[in-house]
Amino acid sequence: MDRYPFFRPDGWIKSELHDFNRAVSDEERRLMLLNFGYDEPHKEEAHRLFPDMPD
Widest pairwise Cα distance in the chain: 28
pLDDT tens-digit readout, 19-34: 878 888 888 887 887 7
Residue 4 has pLDDT above 50, yes or no: no
Give the number of residues written for the chain.
55
Residue 50 has pLDDT above 80, yes or no: no
What is the structure's pLDDT at 1? 37
Half-sphere exposure (Cβ direction) of 2: Cα atoms closer than 13 Å: 3
d(CA 20, CA 24): 9
Query: Which runs of consecutive H residues, i.e. helices, occur in the chain?
Result: 14-22, 26-36, 40-49
